[in-house]
Amino acid sequence: MTTQESNQREGKLRDLLILVPYVKQHQLNLWLSIALMIISSVISIALPMFIRRAVDVHIMGYDLPGLLLLTSIAFGLILVTTSANIFRGRLMAKLGQNSIRALRDDLFAYMQRLPVKFFDKIPVGKLITRLTSDVDALRDLVGNAIVSMVIDTLRLTGFLALMFWLDWRLTLITLTLAPILVFALTFLTARIRKAEDQVREQASLVNANLQESISGIRVIQGFQAEDYFHEQFKIEDYNLLRAGMRAVATYAYFWPTIDLSWLLSTAAIFYFGGQWVMDGTATPGDLVAFIAYTGQFFGPLRGLSQAYRIIQRALAGAVRIKRIMATETEEKANLNPMPRITGKVEFENITFGYDPEEIVLHDISFAAEPGQTIALVGHTGAGKTSIINLLCRFYNPIQGRILVDGLDIHEHELESYRRQIGLVLQEPFLFSGTLRDNIRFGAPEATDEQIWDALETVGLAEAFTKSRITLDTILTERGANFSTGQRQLISFARALISDPRILILDEATAHVDTLTEQKVQQALAKLLAGRTSFVIAHRLSTIRNADLIIVIGDGHILERGTHEQLLAQKGEYWQLCSSQNMAQIC
Ligand code: TTP
Ligand code: MG
């Protein structure tokens, strides 16, 4: 990933076009800022001319009132520039923040729709970095660099023009020192950019590391693996420090080099300019104004080189963001919506692997009639979850078709298909928010009454009322303030509310107490009733009552039939049943 990323890092200016629609919405801000910048630039270009006049006309002519008038005008102009700069700063910040918020929003929405496959390959922490620091790089571009580029070019041209007009000889002297600057601005910037890229790359690794150890904190503390994770973190963090130091060390040369070239040119100007004043080919005012120009000359140069860095960063960010946005969503264009289905499911010769080189499911075919319960059993790693993953269209099969009600699911619109599927996973996904939001997120229009009905059906209503849990009760992250059994039941209630035609249940092996176990069983029976259900079952009753049991081994279907049929066969299923951990089933 890393090498691939750095190979593709070079962005083209064209990549920045992704920003156009976002900036366009606030283009008034942009134009106003440019106008304000032009005003303050013209003033800053003009000010040294005031100095020149002050020296040559008023000071040399002992004209105090004239000097006062000129100084007052200059003072007024300085006030104007300062206000213009403050106002422009605010406008640009607003432009940057607003347009980037919109981009971040789109990126989030887009990311939510990316195929699950995408998330297998990239650590969460890295993705978070994309959504934050890469986007920030673009914000700096919009909020700062664009305007600065336009205006600094203008100022630079203005300064140069006036400097030539004042004294072409002195200008040429100043420019002979340009090579030092070119060196500073190109060589050093390239190095700084490389170092900063490494800092960002390393920061995203640190973030990925942080994310993993925070989300796994219970297990880490449980196993007292804190030290191990701390060591891992230290290594990544130390690398971040080193990358940061490299960037800073290179950067340390940057301003001194620029300052050095400024100081050298000032010295040269004093020496040669001083001589020309003495021999009368220049006035003292020329000399003073010229020195003021040389001082200011470096401002836009600095601005431009900063803008250059921001652009480079933004380019790298834009490329990465574009790559996310260019990742194909699952959807082919113009597919028909999936009509309301009855729930007949057929797998036709499905072959599949997460990595095409490594086949996980071999030529799987089976059919489920509407309303049937299908139990998938088999050793760990056999491919049960993979079958479910395909049915949910999280991945695409390499070969074969999946038909629902006779319709190929890949030839129909994903959204309308997924809406008819209910998923209850081993580890229920509960998020921080109210109980209400957690239950109705599959069916946002559900009323409180319907939610309580569902809670009643899964057998939670009574207990919740007793312990004063309301729909407004806030769940902590992952629902940690509820018991495992309760969490499971809450996720049943959620599935009930969305009333799916096909229900998928990756059953939890969690050890719940007998009372909860009974409740879960009852709730399960109600949940399965009237829907085509696929259960990866570990529970006796679920498997026994299934209409069809499919035994998977190593990605093949080994046996299929009902509980009695399979036991009678004395084959794989019988063996599974006899094995220790399934003993309670048979
Ligand atoms: P699964 O389909 O996850 O096996 P399983 O569900 O039968 O096992 P368990 O009872 O433990 O839940 O895995 C089949 C193979 O696919 C296995 O070799 C791991 C691999 N695999 C991936 O490479 N990526 C994935 O996202 C998943 C789910 C599985
Ligand atoms: Mg599994």
Supply the DSSP string of 188-218, one letter for each residue: IHHHHHHHHHHHHHHHHHHHHHHHHHHHTHH
Helix (H, G, I), strand (E, B) or coil at 244: helix
CB of 532 shorter than 6 A to ligand 1: no
**Does residue 381 come out as left (phi exceeding 0), alpha (psi in the -120 to 50 range) or beta?**
left
- The Cα–Cα gap between 265 and 179 comes to 12
CB of 354 shorter than 6 A to ligand 1: yes
CATH architecture designation of domain 15-325: Up-down Bundle (1.20)
208-211-216 Cα angle (round to 5) = 125
The ligand minimizing its distance to the Cα of 355 is 1
CB of 391 shorter than 6 A to ligand 1: no
- For 231, the token pair is 């060591």
Residue 369 and residue 531 in contact, taking contact as beta carbons nearer than 8 Å: no
- The Cα–Cα gap between 74 and 118 comes to 60
What's the distance, Cα to Cα, between the start and end of the chain in Å? 48
Atom of ligand 1 nearest to the CA of 116: 26
Residue 271 and residue 244 in contact, taking contact as beta carbons nearer than 8 Å: no
524-537 average pLDDT score: 86
CB of 158 shorter than 6 A to ligand 1: no
Question: Which residues, other chains included, contact 145 with Cβ-Cβ below 8 Å and sequence gap of 6+?
Answer: 306, 307, 310, 311, 314
Q: Whose CA is nearest to atom 22 of ligand 1?
A: 354
Prediction pTM value: 0.75
- For 107, the token pair is 């990126």
Alpha helical stretches, state H, 113-225: 116-121, 124-129, 135-140, 146-166, 168-176, 178-182, 189-215, 217-222
299-306 average pLDDT score: 82
Tokens 């940061």 belong to which residue? Answer: 244
- The Cα–Cα gap between 540 and 359 comes to 30
Residue 142 and residue 100 in contact, taking contact as beta carbons nearer than 8 Å: yes
pLDDT band at residue 350 using 50, 70 and 90 as cut-offs: very high
- For 315, the token pair is 């380019």
CB of 386 shorter than 6 A to ligand 1: yes
Ligand 1, pocket-test mutation among 122, 360, 506, 539, most atoms within 8 A of CB: 360
Distance 425 CA to ligand 2 centre (A): 10
CB of 385 shorter than 6 A to ligand 1: yes
Report the DSSP beta bridge partners of residue 401: 348
Q: Whose CA is nearest to atom 10 of ligand 1?
A: 380
Domain layout of the chain by residue ranges: 15-325, 345-579
Domain 345-579 has CATH 3.90.470.10: no
pLDDT digits (tens, 9 = 90+) for 126-150: 788 778 888 888 988 988 888 888 8
- Helices 146-166 and 168-176: crossing angle in degrees, nearest 10, is 130
Q: Whose CA is nearest to atom 29 of ligand 1?
A: 386
Q: What is the pLDDT of residue 240?
A: 93
- For 210, the token pair is 């942080």
Query: String of b and e for 365-376 (b: at least 16 CB within 10 Å)?
Result: ebebeebbbbbb
Question: Which residues, other chains included, contact 131 with Cβ-Cβ below 8 Å and sequence gap of 6+?
Answer: 104, 107, 108, 111
CB of 380 shorter than 6 A to ligand 1: yes
Q: Whose CA is nearest to atom 3 of ligand 1?
A: 385
Tokens 């020329």 belong to which residue? Answer: 286
Give the phi and the psi of residue 70 in degrees, each rounded to 5.
-60, -45
Share of the chain above pLDDT 70, in %: 93
pLDDT band at residue 4 using 50, 70 and 90 as cut-offs: very low
CB of 538 shorter than 6 A to ligand 1: no
Q: Whose CA is nearest to atom 23 of ligand 1?
A: 354
CB of 125 shorter than 6 A to ligand 1: no
- The Cα–Cα gap between 383 and 552 comes to 7
Tokens 């690794």 belong to which residue? Answer: 205
Query: 438: buried, middle or exposed (CB in 10 Å: 19+, 13-18, 0-12)?
Result: buried
pLDDT digits (tens, 9 = 90+) for 474-523: 887 777 778 877 888 888 888 888 889 999 988 755 545 666 667 777 78
CB of 387 shorter than 6 A to ligand 1: no
Q: Whose CA is nearest to atom 9 of ligand 1?
A: 380
pLDDT band at residue 1 using 50, 70 and 90 as cut-offs: very low
- What's the mean per-residue pLDDT of the chain? 86
- The Cα–Cα gap between 299 and 301 comes to 5
Distance 196 CA to ligand 1 centre (A): 39
Distance 354 CA to ligand 1 centre (A): 9
Chain-centre distance for alpha carbon 325:
11
Asked if pLDDT for residue 462 goes beyond 90, the answer is no
238-253 average pLDDT score: 91
Asked if pLDDT for residue 5 goes beyond 50, the answer is no
Residue 144 and residue 221 in contact, taking contact as beta carbons nearer than 8 Å: no
